[in-house]
Structure 1
Amino acid sequence: MPLHMTKIAFGAKSWDDLASWFVDRERFLMTTRYLPKRHEEMLGGSLYWVLNHALVARSPILGFPQAKDGRWHIDLEPRLIRVHPIPKRAHQGWRYLKDEDAPRDLADGEEIGDVMPGRLAGKLQKLGLI
């Protein structure tokens, strides 16, 4: 079972903003200062994007090449795979996500509007209603 990571889609105000980051790209390299300590476990995993306090999509992780300036890249497939949104608090940087805690991909034909927004789901979950 691969390990995954979560990352805030900083600067994206909507799904369309996030999706625009992936248009017409052959590679998607995200730069980070440090190589994740558990990077070997993440090969075959995904980076899950947090937007509006919910995990909403994932991008498969291809590798962790080093940049010329000593930093590291997280090499992602240049595509977004929509997932069943689940609440996720904001955080800085990235966080690990175990496979059993990762949201499932949306099924073919299943619309993102068919599921509850992350903030609302988080509030209802705190109240013990879902």
Structure 2
Amino acid sequence: MALNLVKLCVGCSAIEELAAWIDFRLDERRRAGLSAEQFHTTRMVPKRVEELLDGGSLYWVIKGNVQCRQQLTDIRTFTDDEGISRCHLVLDPRIIPTEWQPRRAFQGWRYLTSEDAPFDEGHGKIGRAKLPPELRNELAALGLL
């Protein structure tokens, strides 16, 4: 069974902001003549790479809730210009909204088993994704979602 990661999406207050950021970065890479792949850089390298790449995803925590995920396609280690070992979590740029799941703030990333991961949005329900983003965020701020 696939293993997943969960990470805070710092600086984003909605899935739409994350999508806009991804589009911006992909366009930036294309203009620079680089491959149009999306990745997230972390300092810590996961030790369970094989399990993560066996269908795992990176689940994003936005405003205190897991709200979406992106499929992990590769995990690449490298050493930066300062000699610090780092890791690129290479992601499918497609964002998959999930049922919201509350999460307290934490640093770095955490493993997330498939059993503990939230279902994709609409899994047997109409879900929050059908609400306009502004209304969804306002209801969440009021603690109603």
Q: What TM-score range do you get, normalising by the shorter chain?
A: 0.7 to 0.9
Match of 2:140 in 1: 117
Paired residues in the alignment total: 122
Given candidates 69, 73, 76, the residue that maps to 1:65 is 76
The Cα shift of 1:66 comes to 2.1
Distance in 2 between the 1:110 and 1:23 partners?
Answer: 25
Q: Deviations over 1:54-109 (max 9, x none)?
A: 00000000111123524211111112100011111111110110100111111286
| Counterpart in the other structure of 2:64 | 53
Runs of 4+ in 1 over 3 A off after TM superposition: 108-111, 113-119
Determine the structure 2 residue equivalent to 1:74: 89
TM-score, with structure 2 as normaliser: 0.73
Amino acid at match of 1:28: Q
Matches within 5 A, 1:1-130: 1-23=1-23, 25=26, 26-43=36-53, 44-69=55-80, 70-107=85-122, 110-112=127-129, 113=131, 117=140, 120=143
Aligned 8 A contact 2:15 2:68 in 1 = no
Structure 2 unmatched ranges of 5 or more: 27-35
Residue in 2 aligned with 1:128?
A: none
Task: Name the CA shift for 1:57/1:119 in 2 (closer, same or farther; >3 Å).
Answer: farther
In 1, Cα distance between the equivalents of 2:141 and 2:6?
15
Identity value in percent = 37
> 1:15: Cα distance to partner?
2.6
1:24-67 per-residue CA deviation (whole Å, 9 max, x = no partner) reads: 63311111112111122111100000001100000000111123
Aligned residues of 1:54 and 1:87 also touching (Cα < 8 A): yes
Q: Which has the larger radius of gyration?
A: 2
Tell me the TM-score normalized by structure 1: 0.80
Query: Secondary structure, in 3 states, of the residue corresponding to 1:61?
Result: strand
* Structure 1 stretch displaced more, 80-89 or 14-23: 14-23
Mapped to 2, the partners of 1:93 and 1:119 lie a distance apart of 27
What secondary structure sits across from 1:71 in the alignment? strand
Bigger shift: 84-93 or 34-43? 34-43
